Chains A and B, each alone.
Chain A
């Protein structure tokens, strides 16, 4: 199982706001930045959020990230059909000489 915990699924209707949670520990989310990736079917992951709440150029402001303690969340507002994808959180973990950890992924379905 993954070091970071995400719900396996989430859903919403077009226009709705959905949130995806990511839970970790003091050695990862609690002391380092959180990153979010979007993976559309059959494609490579794409960086969606970096440093907890920063959006790379080209990512719509419908996507936002937040972090509190050892948990983080990704929020998607104004849900669109093209947002249907798998979403992964990630963070650097300071234990064992340092390494990246990923969440188990959340499959978002737009109903």
Chain B
């Protein structure tokens, strides 16, 4: 049974760096073809893909946010960490992590964590 759960601060100040952790179970990020991605959703708005890390440490980022994002994995802890620098109120959103096997999209999602950016 695959599960994922996001954790991190619920409130950050403008210009601060956000660090979110995705802790998962039921699969290994050392298995060929497996990836974990981050997707966010501002209140009342659409989904926006942020980043993805694969079993082989290949990393992909949203072109519009690439300069602000870093994704890493800790295979031994079953965790994926996303950092986003220079946070702004427009970054207020629910942040989801999701399991992404090759060519199957995002088949398992965490419950999401709401991050509010405000001074």
Among all A-B residue pairs, the 8 with the closest Cβ atoms: A35-B105, A100-B49, A44-B109, A96-B63, A105-B46, A102-B47, A104-B46, A47-B107
Interface range on chain B (Cβ under 8 Å from partner): 20 to 34
Q: Check B106 against A47 for contact (C-beta < 8 Å).
A: yes
A-side interface mostly: strand
Let me know if B62 is at the binding interface, CB within 8 A: yes
Q: What separation, in Å, do the CA atoms of A70 and B37 have in the docked complex?
A: 24
Given A45-B96, A50-B104, verify A99-B109 contact (CB < 8 Å). no
Q: What separation, in Å, do the CA atoms of A97 and B61 have in the docked complex?
A: 9
Interface Cβ pair total, 8 Å cutoff: 60
Let me know if B76 is at the binding interface, CB within 8 A: no
| B107 to A: closest C-beta gap in Å | 5
B-chain residues with CB within 8 Å of residue A90 when the two chains form the complex = 47, 49, 105-106
Which residues of B are in contact with A by a Cβ distance under 8 Å?
A: 37, 39, 46-49, 52, 60-63, 96, 103-107, 109-112
Q: Check B109 against A46 for contact (C-beta < 8 Å).
A: yes
Let me know if A63 is at the binding interface, CB within 8 A: no
| B20 to A: closest C-beta gap in Å | 15
- Residue on A nearest B49 in the bound complex, by CB: A100
Chosen A-B contacts, 21 in total, with CB atoms closer than 8 Å, are: A2-B46, A37-B47, A37-B105, A37-B106, A39-B47, A44-B111, A45-B39, A45-B96, A46-B109, A47-B104, A47-B106, A51-B104, A56-B107, A88-B46, A90-B49, A90-B105, A90-B106, A98-B60, A99-B49, A99-B62, A100-B37
Q: What separation, in Å, do the CA atoms of A45 and B95 have in the docked complex?
A: 12
Q: Check B109 against A45 for contact (C-beta < 8 Å).
A: yes
Which residues of A are in contact with B by a Cβ distance under 8 Å?
A: 2, 33, 35, 37, 39, 44-47, 50-51, 56, 88, 90, 96-105
Q: What separation, in Å, do the CA atoms of A44 and B63 have in the docked complex?
A: 24
| A63 to B: closest C-beta gap in Å | 14
A-chain residues with CB within 8 Å of residue B104 when the two chains form the complex = 47, 50-51
| B60 to A: closest C-beta gap in Å | 6
- Residue on A nearest B94 in the bound complex, by CB: A44
Q: What separation, in Å, do the CA atoms of A37 and B48 have in the docked complex?
A: 13
Q: Check A103 against B46 for contact (C-beta < 8 Å).
A: yes
| B22 to A: closest C-beta gap in Å | 13
